[in-house]
Structure 1
Amino acid sequence: MELADIFPPIGLRVEAGPLVLRPITDELLPALVELSMRGIHDPDAMPFFYPWTNAPVEDQPLNYARFHWGVRSNWNRDLWDLEFAVEHEGRLVGCQGFMTGSYLVTRTGETGSWLGREFQGRGIGTEMRQAICAFVFDHLDAEEITSAAYTDNPASNAVSRKVGYQPNGVLRKTRRLGEWHPSQQWVLTRETFVRGPELTVTGVEAFRRFIGLDQDGPATDS
């Protein structure tokens, strides 16, 4: 028995042109920690709703590992978070996620990502978003996908516009302790989606059964 037989998200792999979305295993965590600690954003800025990069430098490696261990241990069909490590032309560049609750009913969820600063400004963030959205629409039967970013995060909001998300209101969201900032909400449908390269996907049949989309049939790759 392989780990992917026990926990099918580990068996997923999504390829889109020069981009590969691969499962975050324990073997990959040290490299992701090193990448994140080389910098994701300007120290004076905070693009994340949960300010995890504000933690003391000595705490960040274990905090990051705990987050991904928690994603696995807390997984259930009513609330799950699919997290991928992203490689571009063979180099590790960041992470791309899709988070959802009651997916079998709502057929929606929210994208979230981070990209190492050394790889920003090259269109990779757009490619990452196109890949995860194509995967969720085409292979997981999603009907819409949401995203959000603070209004002072022009890069993330620009990616949403490029991929075809439509504005969906502005909310007040907390940021650092005692601080809030307007958050632009976005929604994407199949009709407005601006696609990237065609996908090659591995492990999706077992994953569909795991989340309850399919109940029967053999586990094969596509």
Structure 2
Amino acid sequence: MIYSRTNKTIETGRLLLRLFTASDAENVITMCNNYNIFKSTLTLPYPYTLNCALSWIANHEQNFDLDRMYELAITDKNSGQLYGAIAISNHKQHKNGELAYWIGEEYWGKGYGTEAAQAMIEFVFKEKNFHRVYARHFKSNPASGKIMEKCGMTYEGMLKEHVFKIDRFEDIVYFGIINPMGNNK
């Protein structure tokens, strides 16, 4: 993971994580206006409109600069192709944050989510001195849990029928990881 403070980018073997721009909105709409992504995410609206994309992107840079949240596009390092999004909140008081992500359906199963998640965890541990990162997923979406496991996160528990989505209750599964460098300050 190579972090550029100047460009606000994170580079991995295959990926460039960067701030979204308004020019990404059409690609975001194409990927997010997908029922399969909607049903496996907690807050993504459906149908997903241009206004959804533009209003979501509008505050990313400010949130990053103010250390509120780090929301980045997952892109191919060479071609620039957009694969999805990854974000981590910053709960400064608790020195932790929640990791969240989505990958466009056509890019599922290629390891982009895992590679991006590993980079984001490393970024907040090394650059932002987080003590802990946590993530959650619907029990009905075990692929998201596999990403968490591959990043070294461990199962922490499940909230039974915690969320009502698409006419049914969903169990929420929690994972977490403590900074191995022990940043407790």
TM-score range, shorter chain: 0.7 to 0.9
Are 1:40 and 1:116, in contact at CA under 8 Å, matched by a contact in 2? no
Check 1:51–1:13 CA distance in 2 against 1; reply closer, same or farther (3 A cut).
Answer: closer
Do structure 1's residue 49 and structure 2's residue 37 form an aligned pair?
A: no
**In the alignment, what sits opposite 1:173?**
162
Percent of aligned positions with the same letter in both sequences? 20
Question: What amino acid is the match of 1:146?
Answer: Y
Between 1 and 2, higher relative CO (CA 8 Å, sep ≥ 6) is seen in 1
Count how many residue pairs are aligned between Structure 1 and Structure 2. 174
Measured after TM superposition, the shift of residue 70 of structure 1 is 4.8
Q: 1:39-88: CA deviations, max 9, x gaps?
A: 4726xx71111241x22xxx5221122122255677895x8222101112
**In the alignment, what sits opposite 1:155?**
143
Are 1:22 and 1:84, in contact at CA under 8 Å, matched by a contact in 2? yes
**In the alignment, what sits opposite 1:36?**
32
CA distance in 1, matches of 2:31, 2:157: 33
**In the alignment, what sits opposite 1:93?**
83
Check 1:128–1:74 CA distance in 2 against 1; reply closer, same or farther (3 A cut).
Answer: closer
**In the alignment, what sits opposite 1:197?**
none
Q: 1:4-54: CA deviations, max 9, x gaps?
A: xxxxx99401101111001112233233223334x4726xx71111241x2
Q: Which moved more, 1:158-167 or 1:27-36?
A: 27-36
Q: 1:119-143: CA deviations, max 9, x gaps?
A: 1111111101001111111111111
Question: What amino acid is the match of 1:95?
Answer: A
Are 1:49 and 1:173, in contact at CA under 8 Å, matched by a contact in 2? no
* Structure with bigger gyration radius: 1
**In the alignment, what sits opposite 1:108?**
96
Q: Which moved more, 1:137-146 or 1:66-75?
A: 66-75
Are 2:69 and 2:90, in contact at CA under 8 Å, matched by a contact in 1? yes
TM-score (norm 2): 0.81
CA distance in 2, matches of 1:187, 1:41: 25
Unaligned runs of 5+ in 1: 1-8, 193-222
Spell out structure 1 runs of 4+ moving beyond 4 A.
70-77
Do structure 1's residue 127 and structure 2's residue 90 form an aligned pair?
A: no
TM-score (norm 1): 0.69
Correspondences of 1:187-198 after superposition (within 5 Å): 187-191=176-180
Question: What amino acid is the match of 2:100?
Answer: G
Q: CA RMSD in A?
A: 2.7
Unaligned runs of 5+ in 2: none
Are 1:136 and 1:142, in contact at CA under 8 Å, matched by a contact in 2? yes
